[in-house]
Amino acid sequence: MGSRKIFFIILMLCSSPLYAQFRLDLESGAVFGTNYNKVRIPNVGGTQVNLANDLSIDPKIFYRIRGTYTIAKRHNISALYAPLSVKYHGTFDKNVNFNGINYPAGQPSEVFYKFNSYRLTYRYDFVAKTRWRVGLGLTAKIRDADVRFKNESYDTHFDNVGFVPLVNFYASYKPSYRWSVILEGDALAAKQGRAEDIFVGAAYQVNPKFGIKAGYRVVEGGADSDEVYNFNWINYASVGVLLTL
């Protein structure tokens, strides 16, 4: 096959609607508060505490990395790594039974709360127009959670790794070429618990390869099982960069 034919085939593939595009979303910011973080471990016999009310939270910087591969402008396959760990400190005003150990009231205590998330998502954009893009999909999430209580006498933790299916959604509106308003997230509710991870904000496209975004993110939900009761609401102030390759 001649070089001219090879060049022509490559040119046709690049201009074809099947041509794929990769996007990298790098997000960071601050965890600026928790509305509540209710913990009772074990669920039967443990003491329920609300870490957001009973203790103080240390300021925390977070980051998330998402890579998205878009095929034919509508099919989106993405992988997300979203680690999260926060630290609470203070004293409880009551005795707390956590993981089989009694933490006396009035003693300085620290609680380390980890909730890492690994997700694989497929989304189909059923609206893919110049101004509007709207899609729905499915997310397979692996959660890696750990709650650790520590004071001068005791140090114990309870970890939990599990699979959670979620519904993925995305909607964006472009009032102009460079600006976009975005609503996106993963969410699902069931008898055993619920999970929501939602971002709302705006993005500015500096050039075809580079953009920036800013907004508010909320992570809410939890589980009520035989072993553990934990429901939390965490607020984020979020900024990020968008790289198109």
Question: What's the distance, CA 127 to chain centroid?
Answer: 24
Six token digits for residue 86 = 């926060």
pLDDT in tens, the chain (245 residues): 454 554 444 444 444 445 579 999 999 999 988 899 999 999 999 999 999 999 999 888 999 999 999 999 999 999 999 999 999 999 999 999 999 999 999 999 999 999 999 999 999 999 999 999 999 999 999 999 999 999 999 999 999 898 999 999 999 999 999 999 999 999 999 888 899 999 999 999 999 999 999 999 999 999 998 899 999 999 999 999 999 98
* Of 176, 170, 175, 178, the residue nearest 242 (C-alpha): 178
Helix (H) or strand (E) holding 28, with range, is: strand 21-40
| Residues 16, 220 contacting (CB under 8 angstroms) | no
| Residues 223, 195 contacting (CB under 8 angstroms) | no
Q: Does domain 19-244 have CATH number 2.40.128.90?
A: yes
pTM confidence score: 0.88
Instruction: Provide the H-helix boundaries in 28-149.
Output: 51-54
